[in-house]
Amino acid sequence: MMFWPGTHRRFRESLSPYIDGELEANAAERLEAHLAACEGCRLELQQLRATAAALHDLPEVQVPRSFTLSPDRIAARRPLTGAAAPLALGMRLAAAGLAVALAAVLVVDLGGLAGDNQAGTTAQQAASERNAGYAAPTDSSVAPDAGSDTPTPPKTPEAQPAAATGDDGIDALATAEIALGVTLGLLVLGGLALAFAGRKT
Amino acid sequence: MQTDEASLIERSQRGDLDAFNALVLAYQGQVYGVCLRMLGSPQPAEDATQEAFVAAFRAVSRFRRGSLRAWLLRIAANVCYDELRRRRSRPQLPLEAPAGEEQFAAEPAAPDEPLEERAERRELARCLQQGLATLPADQRLAVILRDVQGLAYDEVAEATGASLGTVKSRISRGRAALRDFLLAHGELLPSRFRHSGEG
């Protein structure tokens, strides 16, 4: 009798649960009817049975020692296995830190660019407007934490949206970017330190 | 037996280390067996087994019901997965240690077993371990739990955290892949197939 390849595939997927008695009664009956007519599937059934039997007959492994626990063992921290453990930890920390910091920088920068587009000004215009803003020494809205009576004008045009809300916004953005840069540097240094520590152990 | 086990579990949950160690003695063979078949060599299997029992003691207060064996094997399987991941992150080390059945401290041969049959059995066991090492870890685990350790499908599902359908599929694919490996590498198998085919 001829069978379509799809028919064989469907029945062959049922062979393993059939061996274990895990096939539903209806499905088992259909499979048995197919097996009666299909030599290829019968051979496959025999081979799978033999494979399962060979696995079942594998010699039982001997336990090399007792794994009973002592209070000391429970209290001990899990040992790091191999030199790669601290290395992998360091690299994961550095990678995670980099990802977070880059995402934050992107958000800040893209937010700035969107603001620029909304204002419809060019970078040059933005710079000149900022300079004009900083030239006004009577502006009372300078953030108290600016740390200087004569703040240096920012060098990038991304701070333009903040110019509309006051100079403290510009400083906040600059401070945020510096903080992100420092965080990034620390994370990279930390990762490298852990990597070196891993190689020494 | 079940009552004894329930009592030991209850005492373990109250922090009784002696009771927990009685459970360790009851299950260490199976846990070590799974770790050894999963990882392919004795030392990592020992480490994984010990780590699994330490983790189990720390978590035993959260064990509620079901099969303790499946629960322990699930912890052991997770430790093995971690070890396999660590190996993948260290490509200078082989993913699977070369498996020789002598590493598995095979049970002594029956005194009346002919030498030829004994050699054949060892060769088949070596080939099976090599074949197991070629399977994806989830299929390997399912096949080991079902065919080597003899767990029922629902217990395999419990030990792997997978659905029954997924377990059926993993066992089916794992056996088929192993059969292909044996046919390609094991010259002994055709005769075995003929014998087993009678059943």
CA distance A118 to A112: 10
Decide if A106 is inside a domain.
Answer: yes
* Alpha-carbon distance B104 to nearest alpha carbon in chain A (angstroms): 5
| pLDDT number for residue A97 | 72
Q: Are residues B69 and B8 in the same domain?
A: yes
Is A47 in CB contact (< 8 Å) with chain B?
yes
Cβ proximity of B57 and A74 under 8 Å:
yes
User: Does the pLDDT of residue B199 top 50, yes or no?
Assistant: no
- Quote the CA–CA distance of B8 and B30 in Å, as a whole number: 18
| A8 and B CB contact within 8 Å | no
Q: Which of A56, A92, A59, A39 is nearest to A198 (CA)?
A: A92
Task: Answer whether residue A168 is part of any domain.
Answer: yes
Q: What CA–CA distance (Å, rounded) separates B120 from B118?
A: 5
We report the CATH number of the domain holding residue B152 as 1.10.10.10
Cβ distance of A78 and B51 shorter than 8 Å: yes
Q: Is residue B199 domain-shared with residue B105, that is, in the same domain?
A: yes
Question: B149 and B86: one domain?
Answer: no
**Shared-domain flag, residues B28 and B121:** no
Judge whether B181 and A55 are in contact, CB under 8 Å.
no
In a domain, A32, yes or no: yes
Whole-number Å distance between alpha carbons of A192 and A185: 11
CB atoms inside a 10 Å sphere around CB A47: 23
Q: Is residue B92 located within the same domain as residue B109?
A: no
What's B52's domain CATH number? Answer: 1.10.1740.10
Tell me, yes or no, whether A11 and A89 share the same domain: no
The alpha-carbon gap from B65 to the nearest alpha carbon of chain A, in Å, equals 23
What's the pLDDT band for B89 if we cut at 50, 70, 90? confident
Based on the fold, state whether residues B116 and B193 are members of the same structural domain.
Answer: yes
Same-domain pairing of A109 and A184? yes
Task: State which residues form the domain around A92.
Answer: 84-200
Looking at the structure of chain A, the number of domains it has is 2
Listed residues B73, B97, B121: the one ending a domain: B97
User: Does residue A134 share a domain with residue A187?
Assistant: yes
Can you tell me the distance from the alpha carbon of B185 to that of B188, in angstroms, rounded to the nearest whole number?
A: 9
Distance from CA of A166 to the nearest CA of B (A): 50
**Nearest CB to B179: which of A47, A62, A71?**
A47
CA atoms of B171 and A20, how far apart (whole Å): 10
pLDDT of residue B133: 95
User: What pLDDT, on a 0 to 100 scale, did the predictor assign at position B189?
Assistant: 55
**Per-residue pLDDT at B65 exceeds 80:** yes
Q: How far is B160 from chain A (nearest CA, A)?
A: 18
In a domain, A126, yes or no: yes
Return phi, psi of residue A75, to 5°.
Answer: -70, -25
Neighbours of B154 (CB within 10 A): 14
Neighbour count for residue B157 (Cβ, 10 Å):
20
Residue B192: its pLDDT value, please? 56
Locate B3 and state its tokens.
Answer: 């009552």
Q: Are residues B36 and B16 in the same domain?
A: yes
Pick the residue of A31, A35, A63, A66 with the most B CBs within 10 A to test the interface with B by mutation: A63
Check whether A187 has a pLDDT greater than 80: no
pLDDT at residue A110, as a whole number: 63
* Boundary-marking domain end, from B80, B97, B114: B97
Residue B67 has pLDDT above 50, yes or no: yes
Indicate if B109 and B196 belong to the same structural domain. yes
pTM: 0.64
Distance CA B37, CA A146 (A): 64
Residues B185, B112, single domain; the answer is yes
Listed in sequence order, the DSSP H helices in chain B are: 2-13, 17-39, 42-59, 68-88, 115-134, 137-143, 153-160, 164-185, 189-196
Residue A196 lies in a domain: yes
Show Cβ contacts of residue B120 under 8 Å, excluding neighbours closer than 6 positions: B188
CA distance A167 to B76: 59
Least CB–CB distance from A64: residue in B42, B196, B199: B42
Task: Please give the average per-residue pLDDT across A26-31, as a whole number.
Answer: 94
How does pLDDT run across B101-115, given as a tens digit for each residue?
Answer: 555 544 555 667 777
* Shared-domain flag, residues A190 and A121: yes
Q: Closest-CA residue in chain B for A13?
A: B172
Which class for B22: exposed (0-12), middle (13-18), buried (19 or more C-beta within 10 A)?
A: middle
**Range 42-101 of B in CB contact (< 8 A) with A:** 42, 46-47, 49-51, 53-54, 57-58, 83, 86, 89-90, 101
- Chain A contacts of B37, Cβ < 8 Å? 61
Q: Please name the member of B146, B150, B172 whose beta carbon is closest to the beta carbon of A13.
A: B172
Considering the domain architecture, whether residues B144 and B81 belong to the same structural domain is answered as no
Residue A164 has pLDDT above 60, yes or no: no
- A189 and A118 part of one domain: yes
Same domain, A37 and A98: no
Tell me how far CA of residue B185 lies from CA of A7, A49, B36, B45, in angstroms.
29, 18, 22, 26
Give the Cα separation of B106 and B198 in Å (integer).
Answer: 28
Nearest to B169 by CA among A34, A2, A74, A16: A16
Given B33, B66, B97, the domain boundary residue is B97
Say if A101 falls within a structural domain.
yes
Statement to judge: residues A93 and A186 lie in one domain: yes
Q: Look at residue A14 in the predicted model and tell me its pLDDT.
A: 92
Burial (0-12, 13-18, 19+ Cβ within 10 Å), B59: exposed
Distance, CA of B8 to CA of B22 (rounded, Å): 7
Is the domain of A103 the same as that of A193?
A: yes
CB contact under 8 A, A82 and B86: yes
Inter-chain CB pairs, A–B, below 8 Å: 132
The answer to whether A170 and A154 are in contact (CB under 8 A) is yes
Same domain, B93 and B105: no
Instruction: Confirm whether A65 is domain-assigned.
Output: no
Q: How many domains does chain B have?
A: 2
CA distance linking residue B165 with residue B152, whole number of Å: 13
Q: What is the pLDDT of chain A when averaged over all its residues?
A: 68
Let me know if residue A68 belongs to a domain: no
CA distance A151 to B181: 74
Lowest mean pLDDT among B95-99, B138-142, B191-195: B95-99
Instruction: Answer whether A20's CB lies under 8 Å from A48's CB.
Output: no
pLDDT of residue B123: 87
Domain co-membership, B123 together with B192: yes
- Look at residue A5 in the predicted model and tell me its pLDDT: 57
Residue from the list A51, A62, A71 with its beta carbon closest to the beta carbon of B178: A51
State the average pLDDT for chain B: 86
Mean pLDDT along residues A76-90: 53
Q: A108 and A44, same structural domain?
A: no
Q: Which domain holds residue B43?
A: 1-97
Mean pLDDT on A62-91 = 71
Nearest-Cα distance to chain B for A46, in Å, is 5
Count the neighbouring beta carbons within 10 Å of the beta carbon of residue B176.
19
Using one digit for the tens of pLDDT, what is the confidence trace for B110-131? 667 777 878 888 888 899 999 9
Task: Give yes or no: residues A123 and A176 share one domain.
Answer: yes
Segments in chain A forming alpha helices (H): 5-19, 25-37, 39-56, 71-75, 84-119, 123-134, 160-165, 167-200
**Is the same domain home to A147 and A193?**
yes
Structure confidence at residue A13 as a pLDDT band (50, 70, 90): confident
pLDDT over threshold 90, residue B68: yes
